């Protein structure tokens, strides 16, 4: 965040009901709406970082993504293909960096793009990578020592009436829960939509908005049902209970043909049907880390606007409901609704259906880009196959047998009360994990284990109905349906023998 952004302030006109201490709505030009829309362009990892940097220990936890970010920060650099691979995840870039650089108030502190190019050689054009500290070369069979240059994004000064995401000179009405309406709707229709019976007691006040207020508003989007009202009236919000969690039962996205499923071993305490931890291989860990690079608008797109975070869902719905003419261009609306991931940040076998950003003509004309997005790692973040111990709240550490034994001993859980449940994670399960990670601190239970336990109960109920009442059977194992089949065949065989006798 630049000093210019820190010093800049503008005035927001707000209508309040002084008697009820309630914000009715705010009236704004494109400046304030641009900033609201910029929230959707921020990657989840960047949001966690910005809130932690500004609010410190008072920063709200965003579900389990905050724990995931801290686990990433504490991970050994040697586990990654390069330091820049880890930095890419800790400081994820936005596909809207150019646009965010034009905002009068920007939450982004993106650094100028670094270009890593190969050493001097006889080939006319340098081979360049913008993601990692090495680049492959058409001449050299091995990587030469790299040098770096920086390319400062050009910031275009915008007049007050010029929009970045919103159309120039457009004016808007913003409700206390961040619904956005064009002023052209008229006061009577807007009052009807917002449920305002009368405005006899309404009073107009001017509110100065600077960087501090915008950061507070971003925080309130995750913890308040009425973020604008809480900001204007300086309320101290208690953490908002998320909307009831529902799994992703239906998705419009189709899994890629032949896509490989990830395997997760969930270690469960049998007596309590409680998840203790999960054993994850590197592909699942890379998937979890990749959640941090998804822009907030991309999360809304993947979950069909049902993130269970009210403020974010309403903001996303406002973008969908506004006509194209209120945006800088129709393509801008589409980009906000379905943002791409920054070019080169997606690892091999990425499971979520988000596109990668295309390189600009200027970039393609200026450089020959390295074909290796992930040097040494064949499209990976992690340098080597490594198993992790993942907790329900997405806290994770490299797997150590000694630490797992100590964990069970501390919990006073005997080995006989523990079993492994093997779960395959495809697109549907990945979306469930993303949704749970936004609001829950029991992600793996909510997204995966509960459905496994429900299926187990359904199988057990069907088993009883099939055999008949009063039948004693051996309980099937969670880990394999073959145990159930074997039990069923054995009991039927025994029953036939008794009948023959």
Q: Is 263 contained in some domain?
A: no
Report the pLDDT averaged over residues 102-108. 83
Per-residue confidence (pLDDT) for residue 262, from 0 to 100:
95
The yes-or-no verdict on residue 483 having pLDDT over 80 is no
What is the torsion angle, in degrees rounded to the nearest 10, for the CA atoms of residue 386, residue 389, residue 392 and residue 396?
Answer: -70
- Per the structure, the count of domains in the chain is 2
pLDDT tens-digit profile of 270-290?
999 999 999 999 999 999 999
Per-residue confidence (pLDDT) for residue 285, from 0 to 100:
96
Per-residue confidence (pLDDT) for residue 147, from 0 to 100:
47
Per-residue confidence (pLDDT) for residue 72, from 0 to 100:
97
Q: Residue 273: what are its φ and ψ, rounded to 5°? A: 50, 45
263 three-state secondary structure:
strand
- Give the E-state strand segments of 162-315 in sequence order: 171-174, 180-182, 202-209, 262-269, 274-280
Per-residue confidence (pLDDT) for residue 277, from 0 to 100:
97
Alpha-carbon distance of 299 to 307, in angstroms, equals 8
Alpha-carbon distance of 436 to 421, in angstroms, equals 19
Q: Is 139 contained in some domain?
A: no
Structural domain including 12 reads 1-43+93-110+158-245
Mean of the per-residue pLDDT values for the chain?
81
CB of 27 closer than 8 Å to CB of 156: no
Q: Is 196 contained in some domain?
A: yes
Q: Is 15 contained in some domain?
A: yes
Confirm whether pTM is higher than 0.85. no
Q: Please give the share of the chain, as a percent, with pLDDT higher than 70.
A: 71
Q: Is 164 contained in some domain?
A: yes
Q: Is 167 contained in some domain?
A: yes
Residue 497 vs residue 299, higher pLDDT: 299
Six token digits for residue 7: 């010093």
- Give the E-state strand segments of 217-360 in sequence order: 262-269, 274-280
The yes-or-no verdict on residue 206 having pLDDT over 70 is yes
Six token digits for residue 75: 């991970």
Give the end of a domain, one of 245, 277, 293: 245
Give the end of a domain, one of 217, 245, 273: 245
Identify the band that residue 121 occupies on the pLDDT scale cut at 50, 70 and 90: low
Give the end of a domain, one of 245, 267, 301: 245
pLDDT tens-digit profile of 342-360?
877 887 788 999 988 776 6
Q: Is 351 contained in some domain?
A: no
Report the pLDDT averaged over residues 220-229. 94
- In total, the chain counts a number of residues equal to 501
379 three-state secondary structure:
coil
Residue 357 vs residue 310, higher pLDDT: 310
Q: Is 366 contained in some domain?
A: no
Three-state SS letters, 186-224: CHHHHHHHHCCCCCCCEEEEEEEECHHHHHHHHHHHHHC
């Amino acid at each position: 965040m630049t000093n210019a952004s820190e010093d800049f302030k503008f005035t927001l006109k707000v209508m309040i009901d002084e008697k009820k201490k309630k914000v009715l709505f705010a009236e704004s030009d494109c400046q304030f709406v641009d900033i609201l829309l910029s929230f959707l362009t921020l990657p989840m990892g960047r949001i966690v970082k910005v809130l932690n940097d500004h609010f410190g220990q008072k920063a709200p936890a965003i579900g389990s993504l905050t724990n995931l970010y801290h686990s990433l920060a504490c991970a050994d650099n040697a586990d990654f293909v390069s330091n820049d691979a880890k930095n890419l995840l800790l400081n994820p870039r936005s596909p809207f960096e150019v646009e965010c650089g034009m905002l009068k108030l920007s939450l982004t502190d993106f650094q100028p793009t670094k270009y890593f190019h190969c050493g001097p050689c006889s080939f006319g054009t340098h081979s360049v990578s913008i993601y990692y500290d090495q680049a492959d070369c058409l001449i050299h069979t091995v990587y030469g020592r790299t040098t770096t240059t920086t390319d400062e994004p050009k910031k275009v000064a915008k007049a007050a009436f010029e929009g970045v995401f919103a159309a120039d000179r457009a004016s808007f009405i913003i409700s206390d829960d961040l619904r956005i309406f064009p002023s052209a709707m008229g006061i009577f229709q807007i009052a009807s939509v917002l449920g305002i019976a009368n405005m006899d007691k309404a009073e107009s006040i001017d509110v100065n908005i600077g960087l501090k207020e915008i950061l507070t508003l971003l925080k309130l989007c995750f913890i308040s049902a009425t973020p604008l009202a809480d900001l204007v009236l300086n309320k101290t919000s208690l953490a908002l209970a998320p909307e009831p969690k529902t799994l992703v039962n239906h998705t419009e996205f189709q899994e890629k043909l032949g896509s490989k499923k990830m395997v997760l071993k969930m270690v469960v305490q049998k007596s309590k049907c409680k998840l203790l931890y999960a054993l994850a291989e590197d592909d699942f860990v890379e998937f979890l880390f990749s959640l941090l690079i998804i822009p907030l608008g991309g999360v809304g797109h993947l979950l069909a606007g049902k993130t269970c975070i009210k403020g974010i869902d309403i903001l996303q719905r406002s973008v969908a409901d506004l006509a194209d003419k209120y945006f800088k261009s129709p393509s801008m609306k589409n980009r906000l609704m379905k943002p791409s991931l920054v070019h080169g940040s997606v690892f091999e076998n990425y499971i979520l259906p988000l596109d990668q950003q295309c390189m600009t003509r200027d970039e393609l004309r200026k450089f020959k880009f390295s074909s290796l997005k992930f040097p040494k790692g064949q499209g990976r973040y992690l340098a080597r196959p490594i198993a992790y111990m993942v907790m329900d709240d997405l806290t994770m550490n490299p797997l150590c047998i000694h630490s797992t034994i100590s964990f069970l001993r501390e919990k006073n859980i005997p080995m006989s009360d523990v079993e492994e449940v093997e779960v395959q994670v495809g697109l549907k399960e990945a979306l469930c994990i993303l949704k749970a990670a936004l609001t829950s601190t029991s992600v793996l239970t909510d997204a995966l284990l509960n459905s496994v336990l429900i299926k187990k109960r359904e199988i057990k109920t069907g088993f009883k109905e099939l055999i008949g009442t009063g039948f004693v059977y051996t309980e099937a194992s969670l880990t394999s349906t073959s145990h159930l089949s074997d039990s069923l065949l054995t009991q039927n065989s025994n029953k036939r023998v008794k009948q023959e006798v």
